[in-house]
Amino acid sequence: MVGDKESRRGVGPFPESDRRTLELLANQAAIALENAELHRQSLEKERLEHEIELASEIQRQILPKEVPRVPGFDIAGWNRPARHIGGDYFDFLPLPHPRHLGLVVGDVSGKGVPAALLVSTLHSALRLLAERVSICPELFSRLNQHILESSAPNKFITLLVAELDTESGVLSYVNAGHNPGLVLRADGRVERLGPGGLPLGLLAAGSWRLERLELAADDLLCLYSDGITEATSPEDEEFGTERLEAMLAAGRGRPLPLLLDEIGAAVMDFAGGQAQGDDQTLLLLRRQRPG
């Protein structure tokens, strides 16, 4: 209709009044189209936010709702994702032996939804395998194969899994490229649970080493992710393992939930109001003194 204005004298031309009418119509149409696009984007954003919230709820179901009560030990732990959902993982594994407890801290490369999906994969595989395979190199070989088959080539997981004999205090562990756990002995010495193999998902052929140590009375075990030690200040300085060790030593006699809160607050203060750059996880276990 706009292209062919007919009259008794033929087609066109358009007088100035027609041009003004068409401009008004075009402006109204442009506003309507823009509003429609903004509405579509708003609905899409709302849908994505709803899906992320569902994913966040699923991840909250995966992470422990409470710490287990183990006679002779104090236990505390928390996870603080950098976004709504994250790639850090910690867990307490029920093991076939009634007086054994499994401790898990892992970190999937990356953040957000892709990392959270791989956390779910790790959680289900580890729970199923731990019922049939003890905490040993074979467990990590099977996990590694599963992660290679079910994740993208550029994804990997650092993972530390420990099995605690709650009667003897012996801790057997395998560390697949994760941050070294810390043991603060009652006499002030610090021992580290160093890596015994590569992270999961890097190579098809890998080997992992089982290590053991014994926790004595008042010894404090700390497992953590690099979001704690690599938190940076506004001057680009890292929080570091030394600061974490110092806080553990200063607060070793405090209730573990209080010590957790103090470390979390110290890391936030150190960042000086900057947005959290990485997921953060902290797990503490202390052997009680008899009597």
> Looking up tokens 């200040």, which residue turns up?
233
Is 276 contained in some domain?
yes
Q: Can you give the CATH number for the domain in which 257 is found?
A: 3.60.40.10
pLDDT tens digits, residue range 203-212? 888 899 999 9
Inside any domain, residue 118: yes
Query: How far out from the chain centre does Cα 255 lie?
Result: 25
Pair 45, 88 in one domain: no
What does the pLDDT look like over 104-123, one tens digit per residue? 999 988 777 777 788 888 98
Residue 152 confidence (pLDDT): 79
Kindly state whether residue 233 falls inside one of the protein's structural domains. Answer: yes
pLDDT in the model for residue 52: 65
In a domain, 251, yes or no: yes
pLDDT at position 144 is: 94
Short-list 83, 85, 37, 43, CA closest to 61 = 85
pLDDT tens-place string over residues 169-204: 999 999 999 999 999 999 989 999 999 999 999 888
Confidence tier at 9 by pLDDT (50, 70, 90): low
Q: How many CA atoms lie within 13 A of 104 on its CB side?
A: 26
Choose the final residue of a domain: 33, 62, 91: 62
Amino acid at 57: E
pLDDT at 115: 78
87 and 22 within one domain: no
Q: What is the mean pLDDT of residues 216-222?
A: 96
Task: Please indicate, yes or no, whether residues 134 and 259 belong to a single structural domain of this protein.
Answer: yes
Same domain, 52 and 174: no
Q: Give residue 247's pLDDT.
A: 95
Residue 144 domain-assigned?
yes
Residues 148 and 172 in one domain: yes
**Stretch 263-270: mean pLDDT:** 94
| Separation in Å, CA 175 to CA 22, 114, 139, 250, 289 | 72, 23, 12, 26, 28
The answer to whether residues 174 and 210 touch, using CB atoms and an 8 Å cutoff, is yes
- 107 in the same domain as 249: yes
At residue 11 the predicted structure's pLDDT band, cuts being 50, 70 and 90, is: low
> What is the predicted pLDDT for the residue at 66?
87
What pLDDT, in 10s, does the model give residues 230-254?
999 999 999 999 999 999 999 988 9
CA distances from residue 56 to 60, 115, 197 in whole angstroms, order as listed: 6, 12, 31
The secondary structure of 190-204 as a DSSP string is EEEE---BPPBTS-S
**Are both 170 and 84 inside the same structural domain?**
yes
**Residues 108 and 136 grouped into a single domain:** yes
67 in any annotated domain: no
Q: How many domains does the chain have?
A: 2
Same domain, 40 and 108: no
Residue 206 lies in domain = 73-287
Q: Is residue 108 part of a domain?
A: yes
Inside any domain, residue 140: yes
Higher-pLDDT residue of 8, 122: 122
Last residue of a domain, one of 41, 62, 83: 62
In the predicted model, is pLDDT for residue 1 greater than 60? no
Predicted local confidence at residue 235, as pLDDT: 93
Check whether residue 130 and residue 227 sit in a common domain.
yes
Among 30, 62, 94, the domain-final residue is 62
Mean pLDDT of 127-137: 88
Do 142 and 42 belong together in one domain?
Answer: no
Would you place residue 45 in the very low, low, confident or very high pLDDT band (cuts 50, 70, 90)?
Answer: confident
**Higher-pLDDT residue of 66, 179:** 179
Same domain as 160, residue 104: yes
